[in-house]
Structure 1
Amino acid sequence: MLSRISVGRQLGLAFGMVVVLVLVLAVTAWSRMAAMHQDFESLVDTTLPALTALGEANDKLQLVRISELKHLAALNMPSKDREEVVVKAAVKELDAALARYKASSGAQADPALQANLATAIGKFHALRGTFFQMSNSAAGAEGERAMEASDFFDGPSQQVYQAAYQALQKLWQDQLNQAEQDKARGRQAVVQANLVLAGVTVASVLLSIALAWLISRHLLRQLGGQPAEVAALATSISQADLSSVVQLRPGDERSVVFAMARMQASLTQIVQSIRQGADGVATASSEIAQGNHDLSARTEHQASALEQTAASMEELSATVKQNADSARSANQLALSASAVAIRGGEVVGKVVDTMQGINQSSRKIADIISVIDGIAFQTNILALNAAVEAARAGEQGRGFAVVASEVRSLASRSADAAKEIKLLIAASVQRVEQGVSLVDQAGSTMAEVVGSIRKVTEIMGEISTASSEQSTGVSQIGEAVTQMDQVNQQNAALVEQMAAAASGLKGQASDLVQVVSVFTLGADPAPTAVVATATPVRGLTMAYS
């Protein structure tokens, strides 16, 4: 049952039981003390005030009787008046004491006795007026009145006083008996409380002893031996001595000693494995360090080559950039020439249009000259006809013949001039036609020049674009080479760090071998070191992000 509970819970359970027993003891003691305190308070707060009130009533009753006697013995009225005041004051105090008794919670006497006392006190007060009259009448008198007052005091007044006094004494005795009963109950409660406390205390002690024995016995079983033996075994293990022989009890498979024995065996195997692994790590780290040194040298050589490549790429980038600038300048000049050629083509086109207009105008002039030639021919015919008619008219037509001769001469000259103009116009038209043909050829040639210049401009634009792209590409290649150079330098630094880490690992492996060598493994054979075979480094592949 206890084997399923942890040690902490067992101890907690044991101390919890002890605490519970202490609490039970404390609660029992508290409850008994509370009961006794309640009885004591009842005695102090109820019974004692009731007895005190009855005692004061008894004293005041006797004071009233003594004052009445003094009133009877007084010889003059002033003395009797003073005593009467004393009697009345004592009567008030008596009534007040009886009232306190009735008002107190401790008035537990027989109700019949309380009623008897009230009746007797009432009768005692009822005769007081008669007593004062008879006593006052006997003031300064002798003989029969004094005797009557004395007989009344010793007779009826004394009887009611005795009745009141006896009733008060009976009530006092009954109340005192009640107090004695309360006292007896208190003593019995004290005895019972002592018995209960003694029983609970004995039970607590016995249960605590039983729990201590059970838990200590179970703890020894869990330890598997005495605490000193367990401490000695733990000390030997902590001092790296794994050769101790552990004596286990028969059937012990759950104790701390059994667990430490298993731990010692496991540590022995672990230390043997660590020794073998440490030797292997030392050998492998040495070869890794050598390989890292070789890799560092090759990485530095590669970094130097990349630096030269980066410098060459920077020069090539400058040359390509200059070519791109020149291509852009040539492209601008080609664009300007193309614009000039286009404007020249437009001018040639206008010249062609003008020459065609001149050609058409020359043809129209030739047509007009032909008309003038026809008119001159007709005029010549008309002049010839006029000369014939003038010849027929004789002398009368001689003047008209002269005019006709002049008109004919003018028509002849006009015809000759028209012929010459026609020849000139024909030559001019022929030249204009040749000029138009040449202008047409010049326009075609200019169109071909404009087309060629456009193609040259397009080619120069493509060359400029290609040069810009080539410059951008070369710049990117240069940046990539620069980044490769930086990465290679970082890789070189990392390789140096790896070499330093490998050297540190080699030192740590040596330290580990020395640390593991402090363990004493008894008669076990020394472990054989496993030597790792290192593969030479033939190449280097690195990735950088």
Structure 2
Amino acid sequence: MLRRFTIQTRLTVAFSALALLVALLSAAAWLTSRLQNQSVNRFNHHVVLSMKSADELWVAMLSSRNHEKDMLLSIGDMQALQALRADWKQDQERAIALLDDITARVIDDTTIGRLKQIGSELKAYREAAAPVFDQIVAGTIGDSLSGRQALQAAAGHLGRAEATLLEARGAVAYFTGVVMDKLNGLYVVITWAVVAALVVSIALVAALAWRVSRSIVLPLRETGDFAARVGAGDLTTSLQPVGSDEVARLQGGLVVMRDALRATVSQVRQATDNITNASTEIASGNLDLSSRTEEAASSLQQTASSMEQLTSTVKQSADAARQANQLASSASSVASRGGQVVSQVVATMDEINT
């Protein structure tokens, strides 16, 4: 299946898949970190800061109770009473602010109900204690026993507020344990999810790498074996290109090369056979030519002997011809002289006849 795609495409897909897996793992790590950070922030916002504010509220209540005692002990010292009353008011304002902060952070309905009860008790405490403190500062209450008796109702409200705060702190502590269990469970789930994603990613990358490398290495190995057999002279070996990638095109080229070599070898073999046949015919022709040459040499010897005889005959004929020519020349000379003689005789006869 992979052989239908080019090696470049396969490697691109493999590296893209690897990059995608890395991106997914990075995203998962980022999401995990974000979830953990959000969980820690929620825990810090709803639990840790709530516990801190509850502790500070508890301190503010204790400080208010201490300021009560100090004011009862400082009756008659107007300056100290005014300072202590101002500090008490600051404690109450701080307690209100802390209570509002805790109420805004807590999400448990039961704890919110307790906090509202604490707020009601603190309000009742302030309403009951403030007139008593005004009387102490004004000097209407002149001894600590009377002041303590006047503050009994306010002290009851503060005690109930403290008891309710302890219950609320216990509820917050329980809620803290629940949140911690959820955080631990979330951490375990996230850890296993990351481990599972990592294992799956490694398995997928390993499988993809093995599949891609196998689709490249095996065809190259087959191609190398085929080239080695062809190089050793085995032109009958076969190779079936599969797919349309670079290796398949290389295999197709090697098959074409093998066919071309096979055709060339066939042509060379045929030419060799033709040369062998021609050599045989040439050798036979050479033997015939040698026989004919010997016959021609014998004929030439006979011809040479005949030519010698002919030359001797021609020489004798030439000599006879020269002698005949000499005889003809002598005859012509004799005839010329005979003509002259006849002419002289005729002339003489004419003279005689005259």
Q: Under a length normalisation based on structure 1, what TM-score does the superposition of the two structures give?
A: 0.42
Which residue matches 1:74? 74
Q: Which residue matches 1:150?
A: 148
Question: What's the counterpart of residue 5 of structure 1?
Answer: 5
Write out aligned runs for 1:430-445 (5 A): none
Q: For 1:21 and 1:247, how far apart are their aligned partners in 2?
A: 47
Partner of 1:121: 122
Tell me the CA shift for residue 138 of structure 1. 6.7
- Give me the whole-angstrom Cα distance separating, in 2, the residues matched to 1:105 and 1:117: 16
Residue 16 of structure 2 is matched in structure 1 by 16
Q: Tell me the residue number matched to 1:34.
A: 34
Asked if the contact 1:46/1:105 (under 8 Å) is kept, the reply is yes
- Give me the whole-angstrom Cα distance separating, in 2, the residues matched to 1:149 and 1:119: 23
Q: In structure 2, how many angstroms separate the alpha carbons of the residues matched to 1:55 and 1:105?
A: 14
Counterpart contact for 1:134–1:148, Cα < 8 Å: no
Structure 2 residue 184 is matched with structure 1 residue 161: no
Alpha-carbon separation, structure 2, partners of 1:17 and 1:177? 47
CA distance in 1, matches of 2:93, 2:237: 95
Answering whether residue 95 of structure 2 is matched by residue 94 of structure 1, we say: yes
Q: Is the 8 A contact 2:96 2:119 kept in 1?
A: no
Change (3 A) 1:163 1:253: closer
CA contact (8 A) 2:67 2:87 kept: yes
AA aligned opposite 2:252: A
Shift of 1:257: 6.9
Query: Per the alignment, do residues 197 and 523 of structure 1 end up closer, same or farther by CA in structure 2, a change over 3 Å counting?
Result: farther
Note the alpha carbon deviations across 1:70-103, whole angstroms, 9 max, x for none.
111004222212211221222222222223333x
> Alpha carbons of 1:4 and 1:257: their partners in 2 closer, same or farther (altered >3 Å)?
closer
Per-residue deviation, 1:244: 4.3
| Kept in 2: contact 1:63–1:90 (CA 8 A) | yes
1:456-488 Cα offsets, whole Å, 9 max, x none, are xxxxxxxxxxxxxxxxxxxxxxxxxxxxxxxxx
Give the deviation of 1:213 after TM superposition: 2.5
- Closer/same/farther in 2, CA of residues 56 and 216 from structure 1, 3 Å limit: same
What SS class does the counterpart of residue 222 from structure 2 fall into?
coil
Q: Provide the rounded CA distance (Å) in 1 between the counterparts of 2:67 and 2:213.
A: 84
Match of 1:340 in 2: none
Letter in 1 for 2:96: D
Residues 147 and 191 of structure 1, relative CA distance in 2, 3 Å threshold: same
**1:202-281 aligned within 5 A:** 202-225=199-222, 244-245=232-233, 252-254=240-242, 258-265=251-258, 268=261
Provide closer, same or farther for how the CA distance between residues 38 and 151 of structure 1 changes in structure 2, counting only shifts above 3 A: same
Alignment correspondent of 1:54: 54
Per-residue deviation, 1:253: 4.1
With over 3 angstroms needed to count, the CA separation of the structure-2 counterparts of 1:115 and 1:268, relative to structure 1, is same
Counterpart Cα distance in 2 of 1:166 and 1:55: 13
| Shift of residue 126, structure 1, vs aligned partner | 1.4
Q: 1:150 to 1:160 in 2, by over 3 A?
A: same
What corresponds to 1:392 in structure 2? none
Per-residue displacement from partner, 1:152-202 (whole Å, max 9, x unpaired)?
Answer: 44x333322211111222222223332332222111111111111111221
For 2:45 and 2:67, the matched residues in 1 are separated by: 33
Letter in 2 for 1:252: Q
| C-alpha distance 163-191 of structure 1, shift in aligned 2 (>3 A) | same
Segment drifting more, 29-38 vs 186-195: 29-38
Residue identity over aligned pairs, in percent, reads: 14
Query: Matched residues in 2 for 1:140 and 1:18: separation?
Result: 85
Closer, same or farther in 2 for the Cα pair 1:54/1:31, shift >3 Å? same
CA distance in 2 between partners of 1:124 and 1:140 (Å): 19
- 1:69, distance to aligned residue in structure 2 (A): 0.9
The question of whether the paired residues in 2 share the 8 Å contact of 1:109 and 1:171 is answered with no
For 1:101-140, what aligned pairs fall within 5 Å after superposition? 101-102=102-103, 104-110=104-110, 111-133=112-134, 135-136=136-137
- Residue pairs, 1:289-328, within 5 angstroms: none
- Classify 1:160/1:215 alpha carbon distance in 2 versus 1 (closer, same or farther; 3 Å): same
* Contact map agreement 1:54 1:101 (CA 8 A) in 2: yes
Partners of 1:525 and 1:251 in 2: CA distance: 24
Structure-to-structure mapping, 1:363-442, within 5 angstroms: none
Contact kept in structure 1, 2:47 and 2:106, CA below 8 Å: yes
Greater share of helix residues, 1 or 2?
A: 2
- Equivalents in 2 of 1:249, 1:213: separation in Å? 29
Aligned-residue offset at 1:149:
2.0
Match of 2:328 in 1: none
Range with greater deviation from structure 2 (50-59 or 127-136)? 127-136
Deviates most, 170-179 or 196-205: 170-179
Structure 1: unaligned runs, 5 residues or longer = 234-241, 273-520, 529-545
Looking at structure 1, the residues matched to 256 and 239 of structure 2 have their Cα atoms a distance apart, in angstroms, of 18
Which of the two has higher C-alpha Rg?
Answer: 1
Please state if 1:187 is matched with 2:175. Answer: no
| Distance in 1 between residues matched to 2:181 and 2:231, nearest whole Å | 77
Is the 8 Å Cα contact of residues 121 and 161 (structure 2) preserved in structure 1?
A: yes
Question: Which segments of 5 or more consecutive residues in structure 2 lack a partner in the other structure?
Answer: 243-247, 273-354
Q: CA deviation at 1:57?
A: 1.8
CA, structure 1 residues 7+65, in 2 after alignment: closer, same or farther (shift >3 Å)?
A: same
2:117–2:164 contact (8 Å) kept in structure 1 = yes
Distance (Å, rounded) in 1 between the aligned partners of 2:98 and 2:82:
24
Q: Deviations over 1:18-42 (max 9, x none)?
A: 3333333333333332222221222
Change (3 A) 1:67 1:522: farther
Give the distance between the partners of 1:263 and 1:98, measured in 2 at CA: 91
Matched with 1:65 is 65
Residue 206 of structure 2 aligns to a residue in which SS? helix
| Aligned-partner Cα distance in 1 for 2:65–2:192 | 53
CA contact (8 A) 1:11 1:215 kept: yes
SS in 1 for 2:44: helix
